[in-house]
Amino acid sequence: MGGHGFFEGFVDERREVGALTIRVRHGGKGPAVLLVHGHPRTGATWHRVAAALVDAGLTVVCPDMPGYGQSSCPPVRPDHRQQSKRVVAGALVDLMRGLGHERFHLAGHDRGCYVALRLALDHPAAVERLAVLDGIPISEALERADARFAQKWAHWFFFGLADKPELAVGADPDRWYGGSAEHMGPDAFAEYRAAIHDADTRQAMIEDYRAGLGPDREDELADRAAGRVLEQPTLFAWSSRDDMVDFYGDPLAIWRLWAPDVVGVEIDSGHHMAEENPAALASALIRHFRTIPTT
């Protein structure tokens, strides 16, 4: 994977999607794959994985999610619905259609995992095969939240407060978020730092969590009440040095409640698997997405 430059051969452009401007990189030939990053990363987190997928004969689309990176930040609403996974997923479907992809494979990591879940549930005809990485549905995580969860993932609840999170994160974004050029690559790290030092982007990323506690949880509970499950063959991948197993024992069993056709794979990595073990992640995604070609 070391023979490629940073998104070498990819188009890097801004696309108007409704009232939003979405920064997106796309390249390759073959069936399309949409890669959705998590918090507080940008689409650049995928650059090593994207190169491997292109080499495997896939078209790869790596946007900065609305409210992240160099994509625009929607105006804040009192109910935080503007950053809900339903709204973000709808914008990404429109983005893919604008790029000529009516049907595509989909992978999401961290907060992007929740967007991928929502997109596959709300737009089943658009998604052929799904991969969810290092996360379980928000409603399931909140129902299992205990003192250990609150201690390690306190930001889930802190970000739900008004105003104070923006003040705290804005005081020293580098210290709050961390990250390094060594793990991310110098170009991806530079994009990430520019994003976390932008006040509007920081607020939008915090709004992602406020939406998680409100409309996203409500939308998932409505799905469960209606008996809605994923129609797509689904891959759940978790990092061996993250806390999925510590908190949930068998997180794959939780995904079986949502995805009748799910398989699991463990990646030898910390949480940011696309940066820490891109080769293993790319291999798992290629095996999953190439099983049945897109028609």
In the set 39, 64, 80, 110, the catalytic residue is 110
Q: From 150, 144, 117, select the one nearest 131 (Cα to Cα).
A: 117
Q: Where are the beta strands (DSSP E) in the chain?
A: 11-17, 20-27, 32-36, 59-63, 104-109, 127-133, 234-239, 262-267
Q: How many Cα atoms are found within 13 Å in the side-chain-facing hemisphere of 33? A: 32
Q: List 14's β-bridge partners, or say none.
A: 23
CA distances from 194 to 37, 68, 202, 237 (A): 16, 11, 11, 29
In the set 4, 155, 183, 271, the catalytic residue is 271
Active site residue 242: no
- CA 31 to chain centroid: 20
| Whole-angstrom distance, CA of residue 59 vs CA of residue 28 | 4
Which residue has 């739900």 as its token pair?
A: 160
Active site residue 37: no
The two tokens of residue 114 are 């929740």
Q: Which residues are catalytic?
A: 110, 271
